[in-house]
Amino acid sequence: ILNVEQSPQSLHVQEGDSTNFTCSFPSSNFYALHWYRWETAKSPEALFVMTLNGDEKKKGRISATLNTKEGYSYLYIKGSQPEDSATYLCASDSSGTYKYIFGTGTRLKVLA
Amino acid sequence: DTAVSQTPKYLVTQMGNDKSIKCEQNLGHDTMYWYKQDSKKFLKIMFSYNNKELIINETVPNRFSPKSPDKAHLNLHINSLELGDSAVYFCASSQGLTAAYEQYFGPGTRLTVT
């Protein structure tokens, strides 16, 4: 994998459902993986910064895991709420050049 | 108090003009960035500065010139604007250069070149 890829591109879930999405990144020379939440008409806000293989981070109903050996991270949202509707971006610095490569994001819509 | 602010929020101008976008952060961060959100909604890094020193210049046309008068400011000047420069430009800052620091983004500047 040469770029940062996210899947799915978009999804709709019902309120109360749990969901997850994937970020894939180059596993060689890995330095860090960032997750951001980007609401429409606002700017991206940091959710997590993950650096170690096996890292698990949690903020409220949102959690993330990291596998640096295989080059992927999962973001989980438990009991989705309409206010969780946003684009979730991941970004990786996999070269140590301080250059973050962003994925295209997963657009989540939570239906009430 | 806005952590990372950008001015203007919207900028409409004609081809060939020169324009500037200003960015200021009041977080005491050492590192600042400029990103361009392209038509496919990708966020692509353009420049980064650390303590007023240019760190990343990501093959951006030399019509784009960043200027960092101090750690709290990173301005973007664009000469001879072209239609393809139309995009949303985001400024961001982080505590330092290392990847362990999250980035704080400004609200974006929507540039439209006609």
Q: Does residue A74 belong to the interface with chain B, where contact is any CB pair within 8 Å?
A: no
Which helix (H) or strand (E) is B47 found in, with range? strand B43-50
pLDDT class for A28, splitting at 50, 70, 90?
confident
Predicted confidence (pLDDT) per residue in A29-83, tens digit: 888 999 999 998 889 999 999 999 999 999 999 999 999 999 999 999 999 999 9
Q: Under a CB-based contact definition with an 8 Å cutoff, are residues A35 and A105 in contact? A: no
**Residue B34: partners with Cβ closer than 8 Å, 6 or more residues away:** B23, B45, B46, B47, B48, B66, B74, B76, B89, B90, B91, B92
| A99/B56 Cβ within 8 A | yes
Is the predicted pLDDT of residue B41 greater than 90, yes or no?
A: no
**Residue A61: partners with Cβ closer than 8 Å, 6 or more residues away:** A77, A78, A79, A80, A81, A84
| B106/A93 Cβ within 8 A | no
Strands A19-24 and A5-7: antiparallel
pLDDT class for B39, splitting at 50, 70, 90?
confident
The residue written with tokens 């620091």 in the block is B101
Predicted confidence (pLDDT) per residue in B63-86, tens digit: 999 999 999 999 999 999 999 999
How many residue contacts between A and B have a Cβ separation below 8 Å? Answer: 54
Q: How far is B16 from chain A (nearest CA, A)?
A: 28
Residues of B in contact with A52 (CB under 8 A): none
Minimum CA–CA partner of B109 in chain A: A43
Minimum CA–CA partner of A6 in chain B: B42
